[in-house]
Every structure is written in structure tokens, then in C-alpha cells.
């Protein structure tokens, strides 16, 4: 699994600190990460995908790289519906 960054719509919670004095900084960092994820999703950001999702669900969107993962029409945006990946452009 790749390392997430603030430009990626992915959230992984941090480890809660045991020292009470470290809690405010931890909470601020977590809220910053959550804010970045919500903003990226709101803007419709799609990261390039290099492998097919193991369990695609109806309505799932992905930006295929077109080389390592080519769902049928090369690089581009695909939506999964009616049991297949459909090229959107």
C-alpha cells in the first residue's frame, strides 16, 4: 500500500498519544488530514489507479492508468455498473 499524502483522498488515523499534553496536537493533525480528504472528495479528485479494485461496487469511479490496469479503453475515467467497468472519457 502506498503512503497517503494530503493531496490524496485517503485517510488513515494516527496512533493516539498516551500523554495528555500531546492530545491537542494529535487532534489538530487528525482534523487537518480529515479536512484534506473531504476537500479532495468534494472537488472530485481521482488518483490514478494501477490495479483493479478487488471488490468493485456499483457506482465506483476510478481513473485507470491504461497500462498496468486497462479496463478496456486505455487510460481514463471508468465507472463500474451493470457488472463491468464503463469508459467515461
- Helix/strand/coil (H/E/C) assignment for every residue in the chain: CCCCCCCCCCCCCCCCCCCHHHHHHHHHHHHHHHHHHHHHHHCCCCCEECCCCCCCCCCCEEEECCCCCCCCCCCEEEEEECCEEEECC
Q: Domain residues of the chain, as ranges?
A: 1-45, 48-87
On the question of pLDDT at 84 being above 70, the answer is yes
What pLDDT score does 8 carry?
53
60/53 Cα distance (integer angstroms): 9
pLDDT tens per residue across span 29-46? 999 999 988 888 888 888
pLDDT at 5 over 50: no
For residues 19 and 44, the model is more confident at 19
Query: pTM of the full predicted structure?
Result: 0.65
Amino acid at each position: 500500500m502506498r503512503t497517503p499524502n494530503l493531496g490524496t483522498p485517503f485517510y488513515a488515523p494516527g496512533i493516539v498519544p498516551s500523554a495528555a499534553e500531546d492530545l491537542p496536537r494529535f487532534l489538530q493533525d487528525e482534523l487537518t488530514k480529515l479536512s484534506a480528504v473531504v476537500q479532495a472528495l468534494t472537488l472530485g479528485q481521482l488518483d490514478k489507479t494501477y490495479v483493479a479494485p478487488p471488490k468493485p461496487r456499483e457506482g465506483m469511479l476510478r481513473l485507470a492508468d491504461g497500462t498496468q490496469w486497462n479496463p478496456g479503453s486505455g487510460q481514463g475515467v471508468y465507472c463500474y455498473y451493470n457488472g463491468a467497468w464503463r469508459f467515461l472519457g
